Chains A and B, each alone.
Chain A
């Protein structure tokens, strides 16, 4: 079974500061990993994904994440936060074998951006 742990339910950064949102996964097989963003009263939007190949993946809105197998991590970063980045961020894992197509999500990290 796969699982995801997001450390820190709330993260606050100043505008222009580095954003770091942490995600650790557990999977018995090589995982597919995703980061989604959710704005209030809206659905989830895909930021980026890792399947195979390059371990540093770039996504939309200047976000990127690095897959580190040795640390079972997939942390999300952005060099400079913008006010519009304030939202809830979810890390998710999906098995890439068999018929297990569902995503398993973490509990989310709410990002607050202050002036």
Chain B
């Protein structure tokens, strides 16, 4: 069990650029979640997948954000035309549907200048 891995761990970009984060969940986990965490706040739900199906999206996920999990394994979160307000830690988690216990990765920290 190698845990949930995220890449890159840190990303600094200029406003208006696109960024993509990747998440590799624990191999047997069929559910995958994306959360966003800003300084001094708890993680906020963005979206989740069961296998390759995106089952729920938060209203926080504007149309500049898109998430995919094409083969039900790894997932990507893309942010287009980044804004300074997008600066945050983006956390990925995975779980087995029957237990619901989330295992988190170490996160991808985005800084938009």
Contact = CB atoms under 8 A, between A and B. Distances in A.
Nearest to B106: A43
Interface of B: 4, 31, 33, 40-45, 48, 55-56, 91, 93, 95, 97, 100-107, 109
Interface residues of A, number: 25
A45 B45 contact: no
A100 B42 CA distance: 19
Contacts of B33: 102
Contact of B43 (A44, A49, A101): A44
Given A43-B91, A43-B107, A99-B55, A105 B42 contact: yes
A112 interface: no
Question: What are the nearest 8 A-B pairs in CB distance?
Answer: A105-B42, A43-B104, A44-B104, A102-B45, A43-B106, A105-B43, A107-B42, A43-B105
B44 A105 contact: yes
B41 A108 contact: yes
A49 B33 CA distance: 18
Interface of A: 9, 32, 34, 36, 41-46, 49, 90, 92, 94, 96, 99-108
Residue among A9, A102, A106 facing the most chain B CB atoms (10 A cut-off) = A102
